Structure 1
Amino acid sequence: MSLARNTLVQSSLTLGSRILGFVRDMALAARFGQGPMMDAFTTALMLPNMFRRLFAEGAFAQAFVPVYGGVRAREGEEAAAVTASEALSFMLAVVAGFCILLQVVMPWIMPWLLSAYQGRPEVLRAAVIATQLAMPYLACMTAASLLSGVLNTGGRFALSAAVPVFLNLCTLAALLPPMFLPIPQETVLLMVTAAVTVSGVIQAGLLWWGVRRLGVRLRIGLPRITPNVRHTLALAVPGALAGGALQINSLVSQFLTGSDEGARSVLYNADRLYQLPLGLVGVAIGLALVPRLTKAFVSGDHVGGQKTLDDGINLAMAFTLPAAVALFVIPFFIIDATVTRGAFTSADAARTADVLRQFAWGVPAFVLAKVLTPPFFARQDTRRPMIFAVVSVVITVILGSGLFFWFSAQGWDGVLGLAIATSVSAWINVGLLAGVLVRENSWRPSPAFVSRLSRVLGASAVMAGLLLLAGINYGLLSRLFLAKEIAVLVVCGLGAGVYGVCLLAFRAVTVAELKATLRREPGGSAASGLD
């Protein structure tokens, strides 16, 4: 398939999952608001979510694919299956042990993670049990990440992009009974976190079935550090860290907000929105780029590799910039219209919107990092992206801590400082990645690339003006369309339409190019039952 087709497959399936995820978050917000049970829920999902984003959403797969693909090309399918089996057995053993350890020590860790509730033992107890229930999800996602890498190497992207929907389906199913029965909030919390682990088992099981349908026979045995395992880990662990800098920064922010009641819930709600373009665009394009860039690198096709990267960045920005503009210009409109109900108030929406705006200007950088790391992974260079990721984490910790406590001392919301620091560090990470690629002549922005990107920026600016006008008239539009939910759908749809028209009018893209990019490439793999 072409880059655009692979990205479209991934993004379309991910969009369905994210829509259900947004529905789930609306139900959680209505049930818990930004109170103690919501803080307990976000704490319980903090580690599983970080690993899900590091592994299941691409970073580990990006690092594993070149290793597995290289063995497959040099030694054949059987040797590649042995490599994958050995890596899976070793990683499952390590992660399972890590999960058990965390479950045992969680009663002693939780008062530190949720220090704002040290005087409320019932909240801490609920948070401990919820985290213990959700922890096995880590092991499931470890298996899912490796299985997704095998499928992606075989040219099968659909199943790995589709299975995350079960996380949202299972948690929504757990939230249905409390809508009709008077179930205590603590019990609801435990039901939802248990559903997270159930969804992990389903996802790993479906991916295992998909790999077997592909004809790859994996086996789970005793963990051994074989040469293949050692080589895989040497590349995959730094690669996962490099690709997951944003998730590590998010984890650091979660730790810092443990002393501020409600702050973790604010971060969670803002995180769900600004991560949407990353999941829909950045991860999808990143996964599609790795096999193409690996092929170009192995064959010595320098021109083809540069064009692939040009196309990837342009495609990423064409989809990301309008989303970032919307999150920056009308964050309160979006959050209040969609989330405010039940225990979640307009005051909660206003606080979340202020934080979301500071994440929004970092969104293009979050996505660009996903597009700029595949050239390193394709050459099995995971060390330098890891170093840059560590630099960005250090910046987030130092700058974020300083701003968090200084803002709090000034009477401002300290979470704003964490959002600012996360966006700053993301742009620094992008600058470091792009600088190395340009300096080593692995990528040189062509005049056509610069011209097209400037036209995308122009189309985004026109859309921003329309959204700004809509945001100023939020109340009027809500009355005009009879409901704020309808108003936000109309405004976002109109903004997307205007943006699309401007893309064509400014010739940032042509109809002929759209048809060409969506056409299956000659020699592409035929669609299978999985795709």
Structure 2
Amino acid sequence: MGRNLLKSTSAVAAVMLLSKVLGFFRQSIIANVYGSNIATDTYFISSEFMINLSAAFTTALTTALVTVYISIAMRESKQAAGKVASRVLSLFLLGAAVLVILLDVFSAEVGRILAPAYTAQEIQVLAHYLRLFSAAFLFSAFQSIYAAVQNANDIFIPGKLYGVIYNPITIFFMLAFGEKLGLSALVYAYYVANVIQVVLLHVRCRGLYTFTPALNFRDERVRQVWRLALPVLLSNVVIQLNGVVDKAICSYLGAGMASSYTYANTLEQFVTGTFTATINLILLSRFAEIATEGDQEKMNRTLTRAATLMVLILAPVAIITVFSAGDIVSLVYYRGEFTLESVHSTTLALVGFALGFPVIALRELLIRVHFAYQRTRGPMVISMVSVVFNIVMSIVLSLFMGVLGVTLATSLSAVLSVILLNRDVKKLLPQFRLLAQWKSYGKCAVSTALAVGAVLAVAELRISSVLVRTACKLFAGCAVYFVGIVLLHYSAVKAFVAEWRARHKKK
């Protein structure tokens, strides 16, 4: 299972890495063509609200259906699990259609909530974009169910190809039609990319699952999916509400601040959306299988190893990002309409996000353990508590730190979530200790300190080229950290190499 997990993780990580790299190019071109201003603020506020809200439904149903699907498939058959998936999708489509109508009717009212500092004319533009993006719910209905069925069958890549499809199409539409259509070119690209993604997922599901429209409100297994999905959905909606509040606070900080928040969030998602999301996507299926088997010892061992791995990888990434944030932002965005002032505000936002890299990874990991045991109410309550804490901290810290305070509050709320989630996980797994590998964490801290020293040393060289300076910082920091980890874990590394050689000889 370990080798299969590594293989699956590597493949999905490669696809998601490609997606994030293309996303960098997309956001870089958007920054170059449109800059950071009230127009981009309006676009980002509307598009991210609708897309993230629909993604909340997608995540909730995908997570719930994966665990229920695996349980039904193991105890009955995949055909029985497929029928449940069709009934869930039928209900989702019905609900999505209702949501689209409601959002179209009340788009102006929603716009006033999203951006209370906007003028009446700016609200009209925002409402227009909200209506255009309301179709996101229909796309998410198909994508969530198709992806859930494939994930439950250990097929992870098709569901993660969205960025590989969406980003090139957006770049093409922007370069080809951006001058004529303005920001509307991005809307057309969104529709085209989502249609392609739905068709791709449908084709890949052949042989596994065929959607047959059926509404059955009495099916107990469908009710089970929705019972599990509802707390996850509420949790995700509350989290999205937090993002809405953050952007609303940014709108009070000045024109372009919401865009700086979004640009920094794109860089943050390169880490959390590549490594963290990949590991947790695959581990959810593994956790669900182990939970169904009832093997607590195996679950404890798998969870401990995953938590340690995430900290060992993301702690140095977080610190190196903090000390290289200005160069990273300049390298990715500083051209065209993106000014030095935008570089400064985006850098501050990135620093706040980066500090939470390892904590966010642990939070998502602990949530997946709850989902595997089909316990979703605990994470929902904890998410609500952490979001309230986040909102309060965002308001308070923004008064003194501006956009840095808004993103720093996100990282602090993740810390609170981990503390509360860890307490609940101990109820499920009494033997689990989040800091059981404290020696490894200590060695990680020493290696990270050495890596920071290397990054600061490169900064003292006064290299004029941003590209060369950034590359040298990242290479020096990562290389020193890797050497430090290898030397401090010499015995473990030696044992791993010996085991690998033994397996290689057998082959």
| 1:33 aligned residue | 35
Which of 434, 446, 449 aligns to 2:422? It is 434
Aligned to 1:86: 87
Deviation (angstroms), 1:111: 4.1
- Inter-partner Cα distance in structure 1 for 2:236 and 2:108: 31
What's the offset of the Cα at 1:28? 0.7
Identity over the aligned pairs, expressed in percent? 26
Listed as ranges, the gaps of 5+ residues in structure 2 are none
Contact 2:458/2:473 (8 A) holds in 1: yes
How far apart are 1:197 and its partner, in Å?
Answer: 2.4
- What CA distance in whole angstroms lies between the structure 1 residues aligned with 2:348 and 2:379? 31
C-alpha change, 1:98 and 1:452, in structure 2 (3 Å) is: same
Q: Partners in 2 of 1:127 and 1:173 — Cα distance?
A: 24
Matched, 1:510 2:503: no
* Residue type at the aligned position of 1:302: Q
1:467 Cα deviation after fit: 1.9
2:296 aligns to what? Answer: 302
Note the C-alpha offset of 1:98: 0.8
Provide closer, same or farther for how the CA distance between residues 60 and 126 of structure 1 changes in structure 2, counting only shifts above 3 A.
same
Specify the alignment match of 2:48 in structure 1.
Answer: 46
Alignment counterpart, residue 211 of structure 1, candidates 197, 205, 208: 205
Map of 2:161 onto structure 1:
162
Aligned match for 1:333, one of 317, 324, 327 = 327
Question: Which residue of 1 is the match for residue 438 of structure 2?
Answer: 450
Tell me, in whole angstroms, the C-alpha distance in 2 between the residues paired with 1:89 and 1:265: 36
Task: Quickly say closer, same or farther: Cα 1:515–1:116, change in 2 above 3 A.
Answer: farther
Structure 1 pair 59–98 and aligned structure 2 pair: CA distance change class (3 A): closer
Residue 460 in structure 1 maps to residue 461 in structure 2 = no
Asked if the contact 1:99/1:138 (under 8 Å) is kept, the reply is yes
Question: How much does 1:443 deviate?
Answer: 4.6
SS at match of 1:157: coil
- 1-structure distance, mates of 2:424, 2:185: 48
Mark the CA change 1:63 to 1:329 in structure 2 (over 3 Å): closer, same or farther: farther
CA contact (8 A) 1:62 1:286 kept: no
State the Cα distance separating 1:52 from its structure 2 match.
5.8
SS of 1:45's partner is helix
Residues 510 and 245 of structure 1: is their aligned pair in 2 closer, same or farther, counting only changes over 3 Å? Answer: farther
Counterpart residue number, 2:471: 489
C-alpha distance in structure 2 between counterparts of 1:13 and 1:226, whole Å = 37
Instruction: Choose 216-225 or 194-203, whichever is displaced more.
Output: 216-225
Change in Cα spacing, 1:190 to 1:205, as seen in structure 2 (3 Å) is same
- Does the aligned pair in 1 maintain the 2:68–2:225 contact within 8 Å? yes
For the residue of structure 2 that corresponds to 1:330, the secondary structure is helix
Q: Is contact 1:86-1:228 (8 Å) kept?
A: no
Deviation, structure 1 residue 466:
1.6
Change (3 A) 1:223 1:446: closer
Distance in structure 1 (CA, Å) of the matches to 2:148 and 2:423: 28
- Corresponding residue of 1:227: 220
| CA positional deviation for 1:224 | 4.3
Structure 1 residue 242: Cα displacement: 4.2
The residue aligned with 2:135 is 136
* Correspondences of 1:25-424 after superposition (within 5 Å): 25-51=27-53, 53-54=55-56, 60-118=61-119, 121=121, 123-177=122-176, 182-183=179-180, 187-213=181-207, 215-222=208-215, 224=217, 226-242=219-235, 247-259=240-252, 260-404=254-398, 406-407=399-400, 413=402, 415-424=403-412
Cα deviation code 1:216-264 (max 9, x no counterpart):
2222345746423221111012124446765443233123333442221
Q: Give per-residue Cα distances to partners, 1:82-122, cap 9 Å, x unaligned.
A: 10001111112212221232123223432443344406x2x
Q: Structure 1 residues 275, 223: closer, same or farther in 2, change over 3 A?
A: farther
Q: Is the contact made by 2:50 and 2:130 (CA closer than 8 Å) also made in structure 1?
A: no
- The superposition leaves residues 450-509 of structure 1 with CA deviations (integer Å, 9 ceiling, x where unpaired) of 222332333222212222333455xx22x2xxx322432333233223322222222176
- 2:84 counterpart letter in structure 1: T
Q: From the superposition, tell whether residues 112 and 349 of structure 1 become closer, same or farther in structure 2 (CA, over 3 Å).
A: same
Q: Which moved more, 1:18-27 or 1:232-241?
A: 232-241
Provide the TM-score with structure 2 as the length reference. 0.90
**Aligned residues of 2:70 and 2:289 also touching (Cα < 8 A):** no
Is 2:45–2:114's contact at 8 Å kept on the other side of the alignment? yes
- Separation of aligned partners in 2, 1:143 and 1:69: 19
SS at match of 2:206: helix
- Aligned residue for 2:440, secondary structure, equals helix
Residue 301 of structure 1 deviates from its aligned partner by 1.6
Structure 1 unmatched runs, 5+:
521-531
1:244 to 1:9, Cα distance in 2 relative to 1, 3 A = farther
Separation (CA, whole Å) in 2 of partners of 1:48 and 1:515: 51
Q: Which shows bigger deviation, 164-173 or 337-346?
A: 164-173
In the alignment, structure 1 residue 470 sits paired with structure 2 residue 458:
yes
Alignment CA distance shift 1:402-1:389 (3 Å): same
The answer as to whether partners of 1:290 and 1:375 remain within 8 angstroms in 2 is: yes
Closer, same or farther in 2 for the Cα pair 1:199/1:224, shift >3 Å?
farther
Q: C-alpha distance in 2, partners of 1:107/1:46?
A: 16
Give the distance between the partners of 1:460 and 1:237, measured in 2 at CA.
40
Give the distance between the partners of 2:22 and 2:389, measured in 1 at CA: 34
Q: 1:335 deviation in Å?
A: 0.4
Instruction: Name the stretch that deviates more: 79-88 or 168-177.
Output: 168-177
TM-score by length of 1: 0.86
Task: Deviation per CA, 1:355-401: give whole Å up to 9, x if none.
Answer: 22122222221111111112111111111111101111111222323
- Letter of the structure 2 residue corresponding to residue 420 of structure 1: L
Q: In structure 1, how many angstroms separate the alpha carbons of the residues matched to 2:114 and 2:434?
A: 48
Which residue identity is paired with 2:294? G
Amino acid in the other structure paired with 2:344: A
Residue aligned with 1:350, SS: helix
Q: What is the CA-CA distance between 1:153 and the residue it aligns to? A: 0.8
C-alpha separation between the residues in 2 aligned to 1:346 and 1:207?
A: 42
How far the C-alpha of 1:171 sits from its partner, in A, is 1.2
Size of the aligned set, in residue pairs, is: 499
Q: Is the 8 A contact 2:36 2:259 kept in 1?
A: yes
User: Contact (CA 8 Å) 1:66, 1:294: kept in 2 or not?
Assistant: yes
